A and B are shown apart, each in its own frame.
Chain A
Amino acid sequence: MVAQDHNRNRQGYFGKYGGRYVAETLIAPLDELTKAVEQVVASSDFQNEWRAYLTNYVGRPTPLTEAKRLAKTLDPTGQFLFRLFLKREDLCHTGAHKINNALGQILLAKRMGKTRIVAETGAGQHGVATATACAMLDLPCEVYMGALDVERQAPNVGRMRLLGARVIPVVAGSRTLKDAMNEALRDWVTNVATTHYCIGSAAGPHPYPTLVALFQSVIGDETHSQIHAATEGLPDGVIACVGGGSNAIGIFRPFISEPSVTLFGVEAAGHGIQTPHHAATLTLGRVGVLHGSKSYVLCDERGQIQEAHSISAGLDYPGVGPEHSHLKDAGRVTYLSATDNDALTAVSQCARAEGIILALETAHAFSRIETCARKVAQLRKRPVTMVVCLSGRGDKDLSTLLERLAPTGVLP
């Protein structure tokens, strides 16, 4: 079993993963941030402020919705799925879990005396969340976004601009999230004195994976008490999608130390893991170093990072947070993958059954509910109760969804 503070033998490590693999210039600001995490974030003063915003601005706690119709669709005779619950991060202000962390980091940056914020974004949800927090807390915000993502997530680009953030398209490399992160790092290293780099994933150099998990574990903490209220017990399984892994680590955190809860992370298999076009880092990657931490990465035998592929910009990343790498090796979390088409099917299925339009990222987790529930039911020898993290809503994906789903004939 893995304890909550698992294997923290060295600062910033989860087992053998994590660390600080960055340019020397960034060590001092990372030290400064680590100190702030220990002294400020832990203080009741900060916690009260952050939690008040979560309640009065974000709309927390988010509901835990029982999905009876979806459960019935997946398992009409109730052979393996007893009850299915959705943790509704789509109902957060800005439409995804990203705001929990962005708000926390911007409040922290303000207390650290930083006067400028930079962020990277893939799907644009973290960019929107950061731009939102910056607008409300009156800090200038610049968001780096791969040029390809700027195209496919146009509504979020518009939202960021409305919120007063400057969106900078990155044309280098694969023109997606990893390249946006490179550019954000270059900006930060050049402007360390004034600028806080607000990382949206539970990835990057120490203390980011810890900090992001800390802010996102509000998802898991709420789920823990809500599921108890609803079922007087723990769920049998929890499922979340994994790109960098922030919603997953957030919902997993309080359940990691509960051995009776089986945990599943679902990565993006793109066109299929048998093709070169996927983003299944934990499933097919090797141990390496990318963007400041040691973790699984998608790279070739020469160590060159490979371009990931996913229909969902938020999962289109060739790295993953170091804690997930550790949880994989420790056998505590099972990581699966789902293809672009699986995700599309899950979106239309959930929309019809529950009246909820999923973000494409989230849909990857939903497409594996049946597989995961069957596995757990086999283990427990009874129909099981599952929780899925509904990390975000699909408004931003509307044009991709309509374009891809119309030809399949599922739309009326």
Chain B
Amino acid sequence: MSRTESLFRESAETQHKLLVAYLCVGDPSVEESIDLAHTCLEAGADILELGVPFSDPSADGPTIARASERAVARGVGLSHAFEVARAVCNRAPVVLFGYYNPLFVYGEARFGEDARTAGIDAVLVVDLPFDEASPLASAIAPIGYVPLLAPTTSQERLLTLGAHTRALRCPFAYYVSVAGITGSTTLNPVQAAARAREVSEQTSLPVVIGFGIDSAEKAREASKGAAGIVVGSAIVKRIEERASKAERKARVHAFVSELRRALDVPC
């Protein structure tokens, strides 16, 4: 069992809700991404999701798209994501979050090798649906592939995925809580929690909920139907809004701590 799977299992037993924190690598700099990753872990995040900047982030809302554009302009790419992963992987599981083209052009076999060396635990590719994912999943073994599921995903597809989770080595599934882009404002956390529960039952995978969770209340509501929650745009926004490194660190620490406290309130 991988350490991510162990973490999900233990958390289920102890009723600990997992907090996944997303950072866009290289925004505002690679060194600061490392620092902020540590900050997130210190504030109570359980898993780090490292976003690989891409020139055409068509699934992302304006906040992450801007961060991505800033990082791409600085020449940040996969190798920098590996650098951040190496710096923090001994503290927590690291999930790489990106678009397919940078991985594909890097070469899937080479990517697998370098991702293993960097200590990455799982890979999530927003424009690589699970039925196109087996070449990548084979190339990155034993690293896991995290499937994204959406409100529009049919029952039939959930069952198909359920039959392939072992071949794809899915440590967990990511439930996209709204039909939309990252940072969406239309999330109904109660509905999302109910649907995530079904998704988990049908795929036999632990599920985290993401897209649109921007407050402690939403985090807590959504987490009721899932193993954990993912917060991305709301963290990136706090980084974008602050002028100094110290302020950014303090803001992120305060926000992630607030999310942690909300998740830890007994149901």
Contact = CB atoms under 8 A, between A and B. Distances in A.
Interface of A: 19-29, 31, 172-173, 178-179, 181-182, 185-186, 189-193, 286-292, 294, 297, 299, 301-305
B129 interface: yes
Nearest to A288: B101
Interface residues of B, number: 42
Contact of A172 (B69, B150, B151): B69
B179 A304 contact: no
B153 A289 contact: no
Interface of B: 54-59, 61, 65, 69, 72, 75, 77-78, 99-106, 126-132, 147-154, 157, 176, 179-181, 184
B56 A290 contact: yes
Contacts of B58: 23, 181-182, 185-186, 291
Contacts of B150: 23-25, 27-28
Given A27-B153, A192-B152, A304-B54, A297 B101 contact: yes
Contacts of A178: 56
Kindly name the residue among A181, A182, A297, A303 whose own CB sees the greatest number of chain B CB atoms within 10 A. Answer: A303
B101 A23 contact: no
A10 to B, nearest CB: 10
Nearest to A31: B154
Contacts, number: 119
A301 B110 CA distance: 13
Kindly name the residue among A20, A21, A179, A193 whose own CB sees the greatest number of chain B CB atoms within 10 A. Answer: A21
Looking at chain B's contact residues, the main secondary structure is: loop
A192 B59 CA distance: 13
Nearest to B102: A303
A303 B101 CA distance: 5
Kindly name the residue among A189, A301, A305 whose own CB sees the greatest number of chain B CB atoms within 10 A. Answer: A189
A193 B180 CA distance: 11
A181 B56 CA distance: 10
Given A186-B58, A189-B59, A290-B56, A24 B105 contact: no
Contacts of B132: 19-21
B77 A190 contact: no
Contacts of A193: 179
